[in-house]
Structure 1
Amino acid sequence: MFAARQSFNSLFQKRAFSASARAASKVTVLGAGGGIGQPLSLLLKLNPRVTELALYDIRGGPGVAADLSHINTNSTVTGYNPDAAGLADALKGSEIILIPAGVPRKPGMTRDDLFNTNASIVNSTVPIVSEVYKARGVYNPKRLFGVTTLDVVRASRFISQVQKTDPSNEKVPVVGGHSGVTIVPLLSQSGHPSIAGEARDALVNRIQFGGDEVVKAKDGAGSATLSMAMAGARFAESLLRAAQGEKGVIEPTFVDSPLYKDQGVDFFASRVELGPNGVEKIHPVGQVNEYEQKLLDAALVDLKKNIQKGVDFVKANP
């Protein structure tokens, strides 16, 4: 999943449901009829910061909108027809555009095929969008985000299960990308830096390949849709909070980043401070131990390939 802004705003967290002042904000979901799009749209409908919700898909958008419009929250929901005019209307005046990107299982595709196909989508799609924007002279690196929030959500949950703690209190930095070995949890910077050996290896592997766990549990019939929707909604909420003037809003996200450009990696996920104009500050990875440095080295190799895959796609499909 990735998010883009035209003027800027976003979604979900408990404090968002307080009676705080709200600015008018239109949020658009492209792919609203899908496995992620529907629960994501539901969470957005429940968010009081969202005053107008625009839903578009190649099929099903108006139906999802009609269903959600019955929910008694003070926002309007509109579903748009799957044509050029409908897409243009859905995007017009939107502050945040959320795009759940994924490929459903096809006949003959194994569970592993499905996971491998979807695994690098964020790592490649964000560069694809940036190249399209560049070609049209409208690229703003501060307003294009790959949503990697799910990796942090998983890390918090999984480490809490190991340590028997409250997952809502866990803070585990996760950097890199959003697929397999590109996902680098920095346990040394969490509240549990002493986790080591086999326990550490198993935890890191589970964080990196948590998506595969869901695909297998669904017997190849789908992937992580509900948890991804929650992650997308949380990221949108953070964008909205920052856009409406809240200071110090920080989320992990895959963005055009200077951190590893000298190694040919133009996009990287780290902690990013958000503001009214999008990216305000990209935080460095910070101090890591030897084990984590090896994870980072492996991540950078794959990230460079994923990013180049996206750039090459645009070149081959101008």
Structure 2
Amino acid sequence: MVKAAVLGASGGIGQPLSLLLKTCSLVDELALYDVVNTPGVAADLSHISSVAKTKGFLPKDDGLKHALTGADVVVIPAGIPRKPGMTRDDLFKVNAGIVRDLVKGIAEFCPRAFVLIISNPVNSTVPIAAEVLKAAGVFDPKRVFGVTTLDVVRAETFTQEFSGEKNPSAVNIPVVGGHSGETIVPLFSKATPAFQIPADKYDALVNRVQFGGDEVVKAKEGTGSATLSMAFAGYRFAESVIRASKGQAGIVEPTFVYLPGVPGGEKIAKATGVEFFSTFVSLGTNGAEKAINVLEGITEQEQKLLDVCTKGLKGNIEKGIDFVKNPPPK
């Protein structure tokens, strides 16, 4: 039996993500939680002829407790998009508070669950989750993941003309670092099967992987962001975690993890100077079994990108940790 919970299930990412999880034959029970509309979303999904029994919960009547109790996998796309007139700092304070409070619920009701964080800014929200779980005495670094799969999905898609693969996901491209802007570092030199990118196309391609979200926001003319592609990426990662938890071997996915708590991570932490970092991770029955160091032998161009990345990442991580240790006045 696998119970999956989606926190933020009524939102732009939450609804398509919940739909994909409902269609997954590995999920037996699907719990949806949000501040509005979840009973309706759950009722709609419950008409789909697939395995998962689906229920929706609201904050009233201990909804979070019921959604989380017994959960094996918790996916968190909760949060708000940036609205007109809102600074990134305003957005951070709102989403950071949402993630903090939801993770407190996880610590209390399902401390052994795999926690998959989509809520932005991932570079800060994952450290927030770690601090909350540490304070509750239940932090297991092997079970807490920042979902950075969309960066890899974009790299696979945007390089298809050079890889020549009919199915873009057949190419394995490491994308390391963080999950925003210049903290995203695609390592095209490490792609397998290998392919060449023309020198005059390289910078534009890196920029497109780093700022692909802006492309979607512009195309949607201010009405939304990358919700459908993010839901696909979140589902892809969640399915991999579930398959690995059931004993399937050889599953490797990119994810933003606490390096000192994952075997192999210390070496990457030493090389980068940061404790949270996205890299390829081998998944197993207990979560992150090994962090895979793909940084050795990268090109000079990639090293420059990595230097910019780690500088920005340090600030993002510190901001998340400080939010928990020195919470802003309400």
Aligned match of 2:283 in 274, 287, 294? 274
> Does the C-alpha gap of structure 1 residues 133 and 148 become closer, same or farther in structure 2, counting only changes over 3 Å?
same
Q: Deviations over 1:220-240 (max 9, x none)?
A: 221100000000000010001
Alpha-carbon distance, 1:169 to partner: 2.1
Question: Residue type matched to 1:173 in 2?
Answer: P
> Does the C-alpha gap of structure 1 residues 195 and 254 become closer, same or farther in structure 2, counting only changes over 3 Å?
same
Partners in 1 of 2:61 and 2:258 — Cα distance?
Answer: 29
Partners in 1 of 2:60 and 2:271 — Cα distance?
Answer: 42
Question: Residue type matched to 2:226 in 1?
Answer: A
1:15 is matched with none
Residue range with higher mean Cα deviation, 53-62 or 74-83 = 74-83
Matches within 5 A, 1:232-251: 232-251=234-253
2:228 is matched with 226
Partners in 2 of 1:80 and 1:94 — Cα distance?
Answer: 14
2:24 is matched with 47
CA contact (8 A) 2:162 2:196 kept: no
Partners in 2 of 1:312 and 1:84 — Cα distance?
Answer: 32
- The answer on 1:303 being equivalent to 2:304 is no
CA contact (8 A) 2:127 2:320 kept: yes
Q: Deviations over 1:105-133 (max 9, x none)?
A: 4243599x989x99961000000010011
Structure 1 unaligned segments of length 5 or more: list them.
1-23
CA contact (8 A) 1:120 1:306 kept: no
CA contact (8 A) 1:105 1:220 kept: no
Alpha-carbon distance, 1:84 to partner: 6.5
Aligned match of 1:210 in 206, 209, 212? 212
> Does the C-alpha gap of structure 1 residues 38 and 307 become closer, same or farther in structure 2, counting only changes over 3 Å?
same
Identity %: 60
Partners in 2 of 1:80 and 1:303 — Cα distance?
Answer: 35
Matches within 5 A, 1:1-318: 24-83=1-60, 85-109=62-86, 121-166=121-166, 167-190=168-191, 191-257=193-259, 258=266, 259-261=268-270, 264-285=273-294, 286-317=296-327
> Does the C-alpha gap of structure 1 residues 202 and 39 become closer, same or farther in structure 2, counting only changes over 3 Å?
same
Q: Deviations over 1:194-245 (max 9, x none)?
A: 3242201111110011011111111122110000000000001000110111
> Does the C-alpha gap of structure 1 residues 40 and 299 become closer, same or farther in structure 2, counting only changes over 3 Å?
same
Would you say how many aligned residue pairs link Structure 1 and Structure 2? Answer: 293
CA contact (8 A) 1:105 1:221 kept: no
Q: Secondary structure at the match of 1:260?
A: helix
Partners in 2 of 1:64 and 1:75 — Cα distance?
Answer: 14
Partners in 1 of 2:271 and 2:187 — Cα distance?
Answer: 22
Structure 2 unaligned segments of length 5 or more: list them.
96-118, 260-265
Q: Deviations over 1:262-302 (max 9, x none)?
A: 75411000000001111101000232011101111110001
Q: Deviations over 1:131-190 (max 9, x none)?
A: 011111111111000000000000000000355532132221111110011111001111
Question: Residue type matched to 2:158 in 1?
Answer: F
Partners in 1 of 2:150 and 2:29 — Cα distance?
Answer: 25
Alpha-carbon distance, 1:317 to partner: 2.0
- Aligned Cα RMSD in Å? 2.3
Partners in 1 of 2:46 and 2:251 — Cα distance?
Answer: 30
Question: Residue type matched to 2:42 in 1?
Answer: A
TM-score, structure 1 length as denominator? 0.87
Alpha-carbon distance, 1:316 to partner: 2.0
Question: Residue type matched to 1:313 in 2?
Answer: F
2:112 is matched with none
TM-score, structure 2 length as denominator? 0.84
Partners in 2 of 1:301 and 1:101 — Cα distance?
Answer: 27
Partners in 2 of 1:120 and 1:100 — Cα distance?
Answer: 8
Alpha-carbon distance, 1:36 to partner: 0.2
Partners in 2 of 1:290 and 1:136 — Cα distance?
Answer: 43
Partners in 1 of 2:129 and 2:202 — Cα distance?
Answer: 36
> Does the C-alpha gap of structure 1 residues 110 and 255 become closer, same or farther in structure 2, counting only changes over 3 Å?
closer
CA contact (8 A) 2:7 2:78 kept: no
Q: Secondary structure at the match of 1:156?
A: helix
> Does the C-alpha gap of structure 1 residues 251 and 84 become closer, same or farther in structure 2, counting only changes over 3 Å?
farther
